[in-house]
Amino acid sequence: MEYAINRRTVEEVAAYLRRRDVRRLVDMAERADPQMSAILEILARYDRLEDSAFYVLGVAVVSYMLTTRGEEHWRLAASHSSGEPLSDLRGFVASSPSLRLGRRARLARIERLVSFHPRFLEEFDSYLIDLEALRRDLARVLKADPDSKTIVFATKMFYYTAKAAGLSVQVPFSIPVPVDRRLCLLSLASGVVTGGIADLREARRLLSKAPHLVREAWSAAGRRGGVPPLRLDALLWLLGGCYERGGREGAFRLALDLFPELPRGAEPFIKLLLGLRP
């Protein structure tokens, strides 16, 4: 069976996204994201927001094929930051146990990003206003697809850095979710994407064969529901982790632990995303 987007389920997700309690849940998920905690620590270690943001970008663009859990990877990144983003990045990528695989290629990628540092500082204020400009420039410098996971993820982490610093940044509807194994797993569990059972093997296959369908499905849900797709990523990623650890039966309990002050009106939405239909 081929993978396909379930437009009916996409519309259900969109309808929930228009509700106030679900909008609150989206905000709560960004605050609960372990990556946000790491960014807060990174911000405390640099004198300038621009330096924090560049270090975060650098960590983000090498955050693939990790040899530790993502949460541990970002904890290590935060602990390595010391106030000088270029040397901090080089040192982190050269030594972090989370980046053992393909370290030479990652170091080369960081050097390409370092070449972008002067322009980044020059355009920093513009990037705060236009995240799409940052995404385009990152893709050009790194010679990557603007929709690739690391480019979109780096753009999200730049947004997180600005948000953690107390700035209001408009996230455009044109930027998709960064597709990884967890998002593929949740796409199958929720039924937003059909064509396979919701397990890790099938999630990896979906990631390999049709990540564009995952991007398209959540982009459509976000647009129809009035929430920029990139802002859905934290919630989807966290719930994908709940499903990964607890399976269909235990995922909802883990989600309740993750959101102890979950708005009552958001519970049915979480159940929908986890595939727990009545």
pLDDT surpasses 90 at 211:
yes
What is the structure's pLDDT at 277?
78
Q: Provide the pLDDT confidence category of residue 73 given band limits of 50, 70 and 90.
A: very high
Q: Please give the structure tokens belonging to residue 99.
A: 């980046």
pTM of the shown model: 0.94
How many angstroms separate the CA atoms of 241 and 235, rounded? 10
* Second-level CATH architecture of 4-32+174-273: Orthogonal Bundle (1.10)
Judge whether 177 and 227 are in contact, CB under 8 Å. no
Tokens representing 178 are 């960064």
* pLDDT above 70: residue 278: no
C-alpha separations of 33 from 122, 158, 160 in Å:
30, 14, 10
The pLDDT of residue 1 is above 80: no
Q: Which residue has the tokens 């529901």?
A: 225
Note whether 81 and 88 are within 8 A (CB): yes
Q: How far apart are CA 56 and CA 44, in angstroms?
A: 13
Give the pair of three-digit tokens for residue 162: 């600005």
Return the ∠ at Cα 148 (arms to 32 and 58), rounded to 5°. Answer: 65
Per-residue pLDDT at 220 exceeds 80: yes
d(C-alpha 130, C-alpha 24), whole Å: 24
Exposure pattern of 90-121 as b/e (b: 16+ CB <10 Å)?
Answer: bebbeebebbeeeeeebeebbeebbebbeebe
Whether pLDDT at 152 is above 80: yes
In this model, does residue 261 exceed pLDDT 90?
yes
pLDDT digits (tens, 9 = 90+) for 19-32: 999 999 999 999 99
pLDDT > 70 in the chain, percent: 100
* Topology (CATH level 3) of domain 34-164: Endonuclease III; domain 1 (1.10.340)
38: pLDDT strictly greater than 70: yes
Cβ(204)–Cβ(181) under 8 Å? yes
* Tens digit of each residue's pLDDT (9 = 90 or more) over 158-209: 999 999 999 999 999 999 999 999 999 999 999 999 999 999 999 999 999 9
The span from the CA of 193 to the CA of 210, in Å, is 10
Q: What is the pLDDT of residues 229-258, one digit of tens each?
A: 999 999 999 999 999 999 988 999 999 999
Rounded to whole angstroms, the Cα distance separating 22 from 265 reads 7
| Distance between CA atoms of residues 113 and 53, nearest Å | 13
Domain ranges of the chain: 4-32+174-273, 34-164
- Whether the CB-CB separation of 106 and 142 falls below 8 Å is answered with no
Q: What positions carry a catalytic annotation?
A: 149, 180
